[in-house]
Structure 1
Amino acid sequence: MTTHTAVPAQQDGGATILEIAQQPDAWREVAGRSDEQAAAFLADVLARRDLRVILTGAGSSAFAGDIAAPALRRHLNRRVESVATTDIVAGPLDHLEPGTPTLLVSFARSGNSPESLATTALADQFVDQVWHLVLTCDRDGKLGRAHLDRDDSLVVYMPERTNDSGFAMTSSLTSMLLSCLTLLGGARGIDALARGAEHVIGLQDDIRVLARAGKQRFVYLGSGPLQGLAQESALKLLELTAGEVVTYFDSPLGFRHGPKSVLDADTLAVVYVSTDPYTRRYDLDIVAELRAQLGAENVRVISTEPLPDDSGPAMVIPGLDGLSDSLVALPYLVFAQYLALFTSLAHAKTPDNPFPSGEVSRVVRGVTIYPMDGRR
């Protein structure tokens, strides 16, 4: 494996590069923590057979919930749903059930987004029995401080270095996702995931060449939890290029039903292949179809194992046998982050701050939160 050399932070995108590269060590730190008080809090809440779990956040934090929900649903044998804070705030009565005991899991890098604070307040207002698990990176953030001393809340802070200073969420996102899967889903294979990420870090030069191909459309496809990964991948590239490239995401099966119209000669398609043998067959079908249409060089496949001989090459991340898609999404995300970063640089953007005039901000501003009356 190629040895990774850190890029000095003063270079364009230097903070983002360092924050991507630190993820394997950050994951090991997250997984190595133990907290008996937190374990007791969650054990008591999760023992309730009628419990509903809502994973919530905005933007990348919402997609973390999309990635985690399927694995947690299977592990907990409970209702586990991913609902964005932006949806809950806009229509709380469409998503909150007053009579259903609910664990609200909030993903929040800073905890200062207006919707993050409003969502927990709305849950307190409209749900008779609600507990909060707040996963955040900023010890000074408003959401963490609001819940820190509450008996019905557990606040878990990520390692301080994961409070990304770059514009896009990288190590903050993956650390919160891993923390969620560890606390609620008994995640395993963490060192294998970290080694998988280190493998991707060693492929930076190959990813940089891919970014320099100058494609103007990027399509990301993934099934189940990997569809959430595809959405995050598309957002990351859109953000870091300041909207100069067209990005799209879908599931391999859904893509054929109209969205495939986005493809043209200037498209790069990325397919994240599932670890599930059944689902994998559908992924390989779309790979073959896209390669026949676009050419093999315009379709990149990310997989945990080599493809069949007739399916062509793939970027294989080894050592992840037996892990679920929700977990392998973590090293897959490192690929997506590098592709977005290097594409941004190829477009002469500044990834640490792709919107220097402030059209889009790191923490959302300008959102008015309107009060809800007591109706249910």
Structure 2
Amino acid sequence: MTGLLGTLARSTGAGDTVREIRQQPGVWRDIDGIVAASRAALDGFLQPLLARDHLRVVLTGAGTSSFVGQILATTLARRLGRRVDAVSTTDIVADPRGCFAEDPPTLLVSFARSGDSPESLLATELAEQCLSDVHHLVITCNEEGRLALAHSGKATSYVLLMPPASNDRGFAMTSSFTGMTLAALLTFGGTAYAGVAERLAGVGERITRDGVLDKDIGALLARDPERIVYLGSGALRGLAAESALKVLELTGGTIVATSESALGFRHGPKAVLSERTVVVVYVSNDPYTRRYDLDIIAELRSTMAPGSVVAIGAGADGTPDEENWRLHGAEDVEDAALALPAVVCAQLIGLNAAVLRGVRPDNPFPSGEVNRVVQGVTPYRLQH
């Protein structure tokens, strides 16, 4: 293993995270095969549901898994021509009657790395309490998790298992996040996504294997930022949120990271900017949305120090190459698919920043104040 990941792999406490970031292109290819092999069974489960005029699709998960839904919601809404909402399990558990105030036929799509977080199973149980007609698609990386076991074999549920390697051992979700995102795109997109997994894998390999962005990542972190802001529009808004979480998790909270949309940033959150802030803007592949991303990049570069505003995207935008990280090969994919190789950049920023600060990214919270699988949640009975 060479380049940035090769160097980090030799760092104490980074081995699992390095391996799981690096393995993602291979995991994406494996998932492409899994969904293809499951196509007939998936269609048999989903097509009768998607034929219902008033079906509501709810994408749910906690933490990083909830950002899968945020990335996918608008893309799937357009593709399916129906209502698709991203609602975290933490919101469902805290306010089930509010989240399920209406009672249309519902497909609850649950994303979970382990399936053992307290909210994962409880959210599905609350959906069944609140709704008269609910089906479950469970996309998980752990066949032995409570969520998978509870829904396996149920007539109203379908469990789609990810490759075992995607059940990340490191603290932060990396290959599990991108794997579940791709699995849902392929599941609902069908033939529209033929060949996309291989294209994304090629882009990912140029980052993880060939190290095309190693120099850029090193230059960004050489600025020793105390704050990192991620901005993204549309589907990339969820990507920005996941990217900020990766920096917070992997560095043990030693770098403050936040996220917003390109347009929303001006409405107050822009106050986070300081001399030691860097801003990363994900540039949409959608020609309309892209214009707003380029506007905020130009605005920020006019007032911030050179090199402190980075644009990550697939297409050229007329600004100097040294200030842009190109994802060559992903120029015409939907933003929800673009998110897969783009988030690898954020994973590498967080990983490298952690090692530079002496934090062990495989376990950045050795005293246990933050856990890989959430603990401490007391489930309460919903009273009718």
Using structure 2 for the length normalisation, give the TM-score: 0.93
Tell me, yes or no, if structure 1 residue 42 matches structure 2 residue 46: yes
Contact 1:269 1:298 in 2 (8 A): yes
Distance 2:108 2:174 in 1: 23
Q: How many residues align?
A: 373
State the secondary structure of the residue aligned to 2:62. coil
State the secondary structure of the residue aligned to 1:154. strand
- Aligned match of 2:284: 274
- Aligned match of 2:29: 28
State the secondary structure of the residue aligned to 2:373. coil
The one of 206, 218, 238 aligned to 1:199? 206
- Aligned match of 1:366: 376
* TM-superposed deviation, 1:212: 3.7
Residues 77-156 of structure 1: matches in 2 within 5 Å?
77-97=81-101, 99-156=103-160
* TM-superposed deviation, 1:309: 4.3
CA RMSD of aligned residues (A): 1.7
* TM-superposed deviation, 1:214: 1.1
Contact 1:288 1:311 in 2 (8 A): no
1:280–1:80 CA distance, 2 compared to 1 (3 A) = same
Contact 2:11 2:355 in 1 (8 A): no
* TM-superposed deviation, 1:46: 1.3
Gaps of 5+ in 2: none
The one of 185, 189, 197 aligned to 1:190? 197
1:15 maps to a residue whose letter is D
Which stretch shifts more, 312-321 or 129-138? 312-321
Contact 1:136 1:176 in 2 (8 A): yes
* TM-superposed deviation, 1:11: 3.6
Tell me, yes or no, if structure 1 residue 164 matches structure 2 residue 168: yes
- Aligned match of 1:65: 69
1:309–1:233 CA distance, 2 compared to 1 (3 A) = closer
Distance 1:293 1:17 in 2: 35
Contact 2:5 2:22 in 1 (8 A): no
* TM-superposed deviation, 1:49: 1.5
Distance 1:372 1:291 in 2: 51
Contact 1:71 1:185 in 2 (8 A): no
Distance 2:284 2:128 in 1: 37
Using structure 1 for the length normalisation, give the TM-score: 0.95
Distance 2:275 2:29 in 1: 41
State the secondary structure of the residue aligned to 1:353. coil
Cα deviation 1:340-373 (Å, max 9, x = unaligned): 1101111110000000010000000010010002
1:321 maps to a residue whose letter is E
Contact 1:296 1:312 in 2 (8 A): no
2:231 maps to a residue whose letter is L
2:198 maps to a residue whose letter is D
Tell me, yes or no, if structure 1 residue 176 matches structure 2 residue 180: yes
Q: Please list every run of at least 4 consecutive aligned residues from structure 1 whose deviation after the TM superposition is greater than 3 angstroms.
A: 2-11, 309-313
Distance 2:134 2:375 in 1: 28
Which stretch shifts more, 177-186 or 159-168? 177-186
Contact 1:9 1:15 in 2 (8 A): no
Contact 2:12 2:360 in 1 (8 A): no
Which stretch shifts more, 227-236 or 212-221? 212-221
1:5–1:368 CA distance, 2 compared to 1 (3 A) = closer
The one of 353, 357, 363 aligned to 1:347? 357
2:168 maps to a residue whose letter is D
Distance 2:291 2:226 in 1: 29
Residues 1-20 of structure 1: matches in 2 within 5 Å?
6=6, 8=9, 11-20=12-21
State the secondary structure of the residue aligned to 2:263. helix
Contact 1:61 1:107 in 2 (8 A): yes
The one of 220, 234, 244 aligned to 1:224? 234
Residues 280-291 of structure 1: matches in 2 within 5 Å?
280-291=290-301
Residues 247-326 of structure 1: matches in 2 within 5 Å?
247-309=257-319, 313-326=323-336
